[in-house]
Each structure stands twice: as structure tokens, then as C-alpha cells.
Amino acid sequence: MRKTAFLFPGQGSQSVGMGEDFYREYDVVRTIFDMTEEISRINISKLCFKGPIEDLTMTVNLQPAVTAVNLACLAVIEKENVDFHYCAGHSLGEYSALSAAGVHSKEDTVRLVFKRGELMHREATRNHGAMHAIVGLPIDDVADLVAGVQKDGLVSVANHNTELQIVITGALESVSKVSSQAVSKGAKSIPLKVSGAWHSELIKGAEEEFKAFLDSTPFKVPEKLIFFNVTADTSNDPDAIKEIMGRQLCSPVRWYDTINNLMDENVEIFVEVGPGRVLAGLLKKILPGDYPAKIYNVANMQQLEKFLKDT
């Protein structure tokens, strides 16, 4: 079997209708949605299938909703006895990866993301901020611009998504200043439609409370190798993993480094397990043209059938 990595999307991959055909087809998927609704006390199936998108996109709703769909897609693949070697998740999606690797039960995964969403929503309401995607400059150049503006206000790197796509986060004025400087250097700046300045010091107020919640949650030794956002590396130590996840909330997502490390492991099959095509799109920008890889999405019956046929 060629080396396979399952990748789990996070916020930004949502759409009305996500997960609906799997929900109709599989008992195991309905069980996951029922469990998510019981824990969150949110009508997740209605939000996912009917919307409205404005309600679905609220982070307190979105985090359990996307996670339910990720776990549902994973359950369907597992039902077909398809195995994998590595996993990773982008920001919120990292919790689905932890579940896939056997670190948490599905129930604990949903409890964690629901608590995470509540705390992030609270901090975003207290501390308004912004996120912009800077396209066209390497990470060192963006980091230099951020460092130059830090003394004037709160701004940091949130995501290093591809070699030349970096998301910055923080206070609106500071983010706008870095964006303007990046544009003057030939980059593009794209404001993101988000409800908070994620992965920034503006949500630092959630960190200690969330760490305490992590401490109350059992962490097991991973059954698969999982690459973490904070380190772009693996760990088999439950205590180390807990510490890494405690830092994830306010630390940059090192996605570009993660994919490069998966290439170093000679991964040839990349499967985006969950809604949307965000991670597949990033992969196409990261993987060299001569790298021997296939990219799949599994979010609906048609995509599942294609993936199963090829594997």
C-alpha cells in the first residue's frame, strides 16, 4: 500500500448541505450527528443541511459542525476498510486528526471543539480583530513586516499555508498596515471573512481556560503518526501532545512545513477528509509538478466512489 495521509479541514471549508448525502446513507453518520447535537445542544444537522450560512459560520456553531462532518467522512472511509499511515488537520481540523489517530474518542473530540468554539467566540466578542491573506511574499518577508509593525500594535502570522500564501492576524489597524506594506512590495492582500482574529494574542484570554479543559480530557498514545500545526512534526507522547494542543490556539499553523515533511516521508496519496477543497487547493500549490502524488476529496458519495475505485 502506498503511503497515505488523511488531511482534515477546518474553518473556511463549510457550506450549506455538507454531509447530507452521507447522513442519508449511513447509520454511523447519523449516530455521529446525534452525538454532536447531544453534546453541543445545537441542531447541527439543520445547520449543516439547511443553514443559513450566516448561522453556520458563527464559530460557536461552526466548530462542532465541521468536526461532525469530518468525523462522518472518516467513519464512512473506515467502514470501507481503507487504511492510512499519517494524518494532519488544519487548525480546527487538527482535532479530527487527533480522533483519527486514536488520541481521543469521538465524544471527547466534539467536547473539545465545542469548548474551543465557545471560548474563541467569547474572546472575539471582547477583542475585535481581522485576518488578511498575503499572497506573493515568502514567510521571512512577511515576518519582517509583522515585526516592524508589532511595536505599534498587535499583529502576527496566523497560517503559513503555501510558500507564498501567509495569513496574518490581529488588531485591524495593525493588520491593515502590514497588508499595505506587503502590497507595496508587489503582494496581494485579501481580507478574510472571519468573526475573530484567530491564532493571535487577541484570543489569548481563552488559552488558560482551554488548557485546563485539555487537562481534564484523556489523551492516548497515537495509533497513527500525526503531524501537528505548532511544530510541523510528530509526537507519540500524550503529555507532549497535550502541551502542543494547549499552544495551538494562539500559535501559527505551519501547514506548508507539514506538507513538506509529509513529502519527506514519501506520502503519495493525500485525502482531504471533510467538506470543501481548501486543503486540496493548497496541496496543488505546494507539491512540485514532478512529485508522484494523487489528491482526493471525500465529502460526498460521488467523491467516495471515485476514491474507492482508485484505491
Closest CA to 256 of 167, 154, 125: 167
Q: Are 158 and 253 in contact (CB under 8 A)?
A: yes
d(CA 142, CA 185): 10
- Angle between helix 172-184 and 139-150 (nearest 10): 130
Distance of CA 206 to the CA centre of its chain: 18
Cα atoms found within 13 Å of the Cα of residue 300, Cβ hemisphere only: 10
What stretches of the chain adopt beta strand conformation (E)? 4-8, 86-89, 130-135, 155-162, 165-170, 188-191, 225-226, 269-273, 294-298
Helix, strand, or coil (residue 273): strand
User: Cis bond leading into 292, ω under 30°?
Assistant: no
Residue 198, Cβ neighbours under 10 Å: how many?
Answer: 26
Side-chain half-sphere exposure of 209, counting CA atoms within 13 A: 12
Task: List the catalytic residue out of 91, 156, 189, 251.
Answer: 91
Q: Residue 19, by phi and psi: left (phi above 0), alpha (psi -120 to 50) or beta?
A: left
CA distances for 46 relative to 95, 277, 307, angstroms: 22, 22, 28
3-state secondary structure of 155: strand
Query: Facing residues of 160 across strands?
Result: 166
72 in Cβ contact with 8 (< 8 Å): no
One-letter amino acid for residue 255 of the chain: W
40 catalytic per annotation: no
Active site residue 199: yes
Marked catalytic residue, from 176, 199, 200, 251: 199
Active site residues: 91, 199
